[in-house]
Amino acid sequence: MGDGAGRGAGAADAAGAAVAAALARDLDAGFADLYEAYRGAVFSTALRLCGRWAEAEDLSAEAFLRAYRALAGYGPDRIAGLRPRAWLLMILTNVWRNSVRSAARRPAAAGPIEDAPDPPDPGEGVEEAAARRETGRELAALLAELPEAQRAAVVLRHVTDLPVAEVAAVLDLPEGTVKSHVSRGLARLRRLRAARQGQRRDEWEGGPR
């Protein structure tokens, strides 16, 4: 398991270095590589952070726009030293946090949290798609009940599948703090899920016979 994780991290580092080198050579061409390499990770992370498809699209677009503007002001050496995935997800996380704070100052927007299925897989069957959609709705609703710090840590670690060190870089936190947020977040998710299942069981048992 450790060897597999190490190989995965090594491959991610190599891919990131290639993207950073492309950006340093030619910003516009390299940015196309950046977008193709990380748009899936950025959108999936945004979707699980905010819980709504349309909002995730807006957050992703804003993150890439801010990334391009920032890169335009960087020199080649600074760009070449970037870790693009962690850097992009740091921008996304900051955009999301700003949106949360802005939303707290205005009336709640329409649209249920449950409208957040996982991104579709063209190769899956109808049964798999239905199961995935239901799981995605449940996960979105549960994640929405976590405190902001725990939600971000859990999403980055277990949805985006980043190593702890990269999560720490994205959130600008010590690794020990990240591990604590992840552990507490997962424990809270388990309690929330158990409570929901108990509620459904009570409703089913108390229904018409």
Q: What does each C-alpha distance from 180 to 93, 126, 151 come to in angstroms?
A: 19, 38, 12
State which amino acid sits at residue 132.
R
Q: Report pLDDT for 6.
A: 54
pLDDT in tens, 120-133: 554 544 344 434 44
Q: Report pLDDT for 100.
A: 92
Blockwise average pLDDT, block size 10, the chain, 209 residues: 55 89 96 97 95 94 98 96 96 96 69 50 46 66 92 95 96 98 95 83 60
Q: Report pLDDT for 202.
A: 61
121-153 burial: b if 16+ Cβ within 10 Å, else e: eeeeeeeeeeebeeebbebbbbbbebeebbbbb
pLDDT in tens, 14-42: 899 999 999 999 999 999 999 999 999 99
CA distance 200 to 198: 5
Which tokens go with 126?
């109808």
| Cβ count near 178 (within 10 Å) | 24
Q: Report pLDDT for 38.
A: 97
Task: Report pTM.
Answer: 0.80
Closest by CA to 181, choosing from 142, 149, 143, is: 149
Domain edges within the chain: 4-104+127-206
